[in-house]
Amino acid sequence: MDTATNLNTATNRATDDFTAQDICATLSELDSDADHGLTTQQATERLRECGANEIEEHEEALWHRLFRRFWGPIPWMIEV
């Protein structure tokens, strides 16, 4: 599912603030069940459509790591 589709789905919902809804409304909106959760098929389909629920790692540039080592109060005190 692309970003535009995700945004359209989000705007069609009654509210995106699930804390403002009761549990039954939230479960109904998310097409889930409180006792059994998602079926394997539903989980596989959501993984395929939305992707994994993870934060993308950001690699810090080598020049930035080197710069941080020599910029700050401790390196300045060593030089003085």
Q: What is the mean pLDDT of the chain?
A: 80
DSSP state of 18: G
Whether this model's pTM surpasses 0.85: no
Buried b (16+ CB within 10 A) or exposed e, 13-51: eeeeeeeebeeeeebeeeeeeeeeeeeeeeeeeeeeeee
Closest listed residue to residue 26, CA positions, set 37, 36, 15 = 15
Q: Which residues neighbour 73 within 8 Å (Cβ) at sequence distance 6 or greater?
A: none
pLDDT tens column, 51-75:
998 888 888 899 998 888 888 888 7
